[in-house]
Structure formats: C-alpha cells, structure tokens
Amino acid sequence: METTTEALSADVLVIGFGKGGKTAAHALAEAGRRVVLVERSAHMYGGTCPNVGCVPSKMLVHYSNAKRLEDEAREYFAKSVAGVRALTSAFRAGNLEAMNGHETATVITGEASFVDEHTVTVGAGEDRITVTAPTILINTGSEPVIPAIPGLAESSHLVSSTDLIENDRLPASLVIVGGGYLGLEFASIYRHFGAEVTVLEAADRLLPREDEDIALAATEILAGDGIRILTGVRVTGVSDNEDTATVSYEKDGRTLTVDGHALLPATGRRPVTDHLNLQAAGVRTTARGAIEVDEHLRTSRPHIYALGDVNGGEQFTYVSFDDARVVLDQLLGEGKLQRTVTDRVAVPHTLFITPPLATVGLKETQARAEGRKIKVSREKVADIVAMPRAYTVEETRGVWKFIVDADTDLVLGAALLTIDAQEIINTVALAMRHGITATQLRDSIYTHPSSTEGLNEVFDKVLPE
C-alpha cells in the first residue's frame, strides 16, 4: 500500500513543549516567524513543570500541609489529587490554546526524529509528517533514571514521581531510594499526607552539598515529622511480596531490609535524546547523553540549539526560561545583547520540604576553602524577633544563614530554611547580582508582618570565629 507523507516547512522548528521551547516559540511567532512545535505527548503541552513536575508537586505540598487531624488520609489524598488534575489539565489546555492562537504557529503531536540536519519526521506510516526548517531548537527535557539495582525495574511496586502525582491512592508506606531534591520533597509530601516514609541515602548525610549545620537542621525537621532517614547505605536488591516490596540494603557491614507499598527511585534524571536520531543531524552529545552546546546554546551544528535539561545544565524550569533568552538574543536580537549562559550570577535554588530550604551563592565551606575573609550571620527562625510572620503561620522551625565578605560587606551566599524561603531568596539573589550590601539589606524597609523583614535582624547575628 502506498504511503503518503505530509511535508511542512517552517522558519523555526521547536522540538519539545517545555519552558524554554515554548517561550522561544511564542516570541518567534509574535515576530512573524513561521514556527512548528513538535511535542511527543498530548499530556505534556507546556512541558514537565505544569504537568508532572513543579506545579503539581508544589500543589501537593500545599494540600499535604493543609490536612487536618480529622481528615481521613486516603479520602483527603484522593481529593487533593483531583484538585491537582483539574489545575494541570487547565494549564495544559491553556498552553496548547496559547500556542495555536498564533497565526504563524503550528503544534504537532508525535515523536520527532532527525533525517538530516534540517529535517525531521514525526510519526510513522500514513500519519507521518516531514518538517524542514533552517533553524531548529531542541527542548526535549529529561527523564528519571532507574538505577541498576537487582529486582527494582521489575518490581510491581515501582513508581515514578509522575505516578505519585497522578495516582489518587495513597500508599500506606513509601520507600524512597535517594535523598536529593526530588526524594526529600516527596518524602515530606507523603509523610504529611499520612504515609509511612523511609529514605535510603548513599551519602553519609542528607544534603551533602550544603553546609553541615544547614543539612543537620533540615534532617532534624524531616525526622521530627516522622520520616525515617537512613544514610550511608547501599541498596542491593528488591523483591516483591503480595502487597509490598522488600528493599535490601547494606549499612555498617550488615544486610538489612525495609518494606514499602510503593518504591520510588529518586537518584537523578537524564536528558531525553534517544529517539531523536541526533547522529543523522550531526549533533554531538556528551558522555552523559546531554546535547553538547557552547555558551550561546548552539550545538555542533550552529543552526541547531538545545535548551533546558537536554543540554546537561541545571535542571530547573527557570534556567530553561533563561536559555530561551540566550537563544532569542541570537535569533531576534541579532546577538546585540551578547547573552550567554556565563552571564548567570547568583542563581537560587529551593528544596520544597516543609519549611522550604532555599540557597544561593557560596556555602561557608566553599568560601573558607577559597581563602576568603568572611563573616557568617546565622539565627534560628524561632529567635528572629523581627519576623512575627513565622509565629502567625505557626511555622517557627528552621534557620537563616548568610555568608558575607568581611572586606566589602557583599553577600556571598545564603541558606534559608524557613517559611517563605522560596520568596526571600529571590530578594537576596537580586541584591547579590547588583552589589547591594548586607548592611543595605539590613537597613531596608520591608512590609510587616512579612518574612522578608527578618533581614532587618539576621545580619547582626554574626557567629564568632
């Protein structure tokens, strides 16, 4: 039987509907460019964040913290997931409608595969579409890695973060392999919903990249919420029982086990490139499978760019958004701003446990290792007199910590384990980017009662050397 193939041409082809790709596609379409955007899943219009990542997981954080003692755990959880589904469905539809609303933009649903450096095919057989463009943007994101633990991949109790977000049945117990951002966020969420949670971490302590005092404070909060935390362990195998999975691990020379109704591997993510047939386009990848890019996000083919997680950079939505700015400077601004990925200064991060931990810049250990002359300001949230908001919302756990250059008074770094940390850290990062001193932050006027006004006090709490 003869197969017909539809052929499209565009000024710009965008592969992947993530934050960077859709931001660039919108701007290019607004500028009158003919844009074709290919997304392989109708469930992912808008990318990971609004569908199975940031938005639904943080909504679950909100719901889990709003749970009352009288709420029946499983019923409350099911209602919470229904609320998440309603929001993500609305966001997904809105993203598609906004893109299709451009006269010069077309969205195609299907898997793209390169034929040559200017051409991809989408779909197969009678549904196959060929798209050709002089400029191509790749924004296919990342996917969870399942570690090579015997029995893990075959376990019927294996779940992904997407499964946990979309399944409305609350597991009685959850075992999480990995104590990074993803693992700890889901540990906190599911513990507050009422599940028994165990975290298995290979490092000797949680959050090994943070200063020890901050990591210890976060660990104490998580443990205080009833999360069982086991560090310095090596998971050796998984075996299924009727209702649970048994996870075997080694610690201090002993072999031990823990059972869970659900098992989440949270040991990292990898770029999604396998289906792209990049070799046909002559696009090089790194040893870790990420697309190799320069400071302007150009690949080994200068007309092909890679944005977001797929290029091996930091895996955050707001970094993908900034990737779009870098690329648009090349495509629309003709490089006038000379934007590059090296322009990024003081990029903050937030771990959405309860309360959240937000960080930016240097750790104390890093600053001292670099031989910097520093002052360290640190205070427990419960002791910050100038921050009554912590008491008004009944969340006084945590600590604020700042690293300040002793000679210039500039803030070098911050770690905020506190209510509203995800907001305060943006003010601190902005100050760091623009040379605002610790004294100026301390002496500024902030609204009351707010968390930001804690800045009025904490910079005076300098730790002795």
255 is in an annotated binding site: no
184 is in an annotated binding site: yes
429 Cβ neighbours under 8 A, 6+ residues apart? 346, 347, 348, 360, 361
* Residue 163 in marked binding region: no
Phi, psi at 412, each rounded to 5°: -95, -25
**Does the annotation flag 140 for ligand binding?**
yes
Q: Catalytic pick from 102, 118, 434, 448?
A: 448
Task: Report whether 334 belongs to an annotated binding site.
Answer: no
C-alpha 210/C-alpha 312 separation (Å) is 22
CA 436 to chain centre: 28
* Tokens encoding 427: 């003010």
Do the annotations mark residue 58 as ligand-binding?
A: yes
- Which three-class secondary structure state does DSSP give residue 423? helix
**For residue 285, which of 319, 307, 311 has the smallest C-alpha distance?**
311
Nearest to residue 264, comparing CAs of 116, 152, 140, 99? 152
Please state, in angstroms and rounded to a whole number, the distance separating the CA atoms of residues 465 and 463. 6
**Is there a catalytic annotation at residue 448?**
yes
* Crossing angle for the helix pair 54-66 and 181-193, to the nearest 10 degrees: 30
- Annotated ligand binding at 142? The verdict is yes
Q: Any binding-site annotation on 180? A: yes
Judge if the upstream peptide bond of residue 134 is cis by omega within 30 degrees of 0: no
Residue 333 annotated as binding site:
no
Question: Any binding-site annotation on 181?
Answer: yes
On the 0-12 / 13-18 / 19+ scale of CB atoms within 10 A, 116 is exposed
**DSSP-assigned states of every residue in 273-328:** -GGG-GGGTT--B-TTSPBP--TT-B-SSTTEEE-GGGGTS---HHHHHHHHHHHH
96 close to 25: Cβ distance less than 8 angstroms: no
SS3 state at 459: coil
> Is 83 part of any known ligand binding site?
no
- 268 annotated as belonging to a binding site for a ligand: yes
Judge whether 94 is annotated as a binding position: no
How many other C-beta atoms lie within 10 A of the C-beta of residue 99?
22
185 is an annotated ligand-binding site residue: yes
Instruction: Indicate the DSSP class of residue 410.
Output: B
Give the tokens for residue 455. 């800045």
Token pair, residue 19, equals 């934050």
Cα gap 274→326, rounded to integer Å: 25
Ramachandran angles phi, psi of 279, nearest 5°: -60, -30
Query: Is 314 assigned a ligand-binding role in the annotation?
Result: no
Q: Which residues partner with 269 through β-bridges?
A: 144
Annotated binding site: 58, 140-142, 178-185, 201, 268, 309
Residue positions annotated with a catalytic role: 448
Enumerate the known binding-site residues for FAD. Answer: 58, 140-142, 309
Question: Which segments are annotated as binding site for NAD(+)?
Answer: 178-185, 201, 268
